[in-house]
Amino acid sequence: MQLQRLADPAIDRLFEAIALLRTKEECYRFFEDICTIAEVKAMAQRLQVAEMLEAGFTYSDIAEKTGASTATISRVKRFLNYGADGYKMILERLKELDEKKK
């Protein structure tokens, strides 16, 4: 499934490149080169917010723990509920990964 608002050959190529990353270290190396530290931290923060929303944390708890603004928390919640299910897909996979680690 390709989303129309993102459909672009350059974005396709970026996603193909990301899918080729094999280890966490490779991810660190690639993202350090392609993104600013602030961009990587912002993406990590959004994922952390999504995990906490799914776990039932309040906005104030999430803001306190992550430093995210209520606008960011609200945006993540909107995409969790009405987005392309990307957060839901990856959160489920992360839960499966966590279970395998136990």
Q: Say what the pLDDT of residue 69 is.
A: 97
**Residue 1 in this model has a pLDDT that exceeds 60:** no
Compute φ and ψ for 3, nearest 5 degrees.
-85, 130
pLDDT band at 4 (very low <50, low <70, confident <90, very high): low
Q: What domains sit in the chain, N to C, each tagged with a CATH number?
A: 9-101 (1.10.1270.10)
Measured distance CA(25)–CA(31) in Å, rounded: 10
Torsion of CA 101, 54, 24, 12, to 10 degrees: 130
Q: What are the DSSP calls for 21-55, one per residue?
A: --SHHHHHHHHHHHS-HHHHHHHHHHHHHHHHHHT
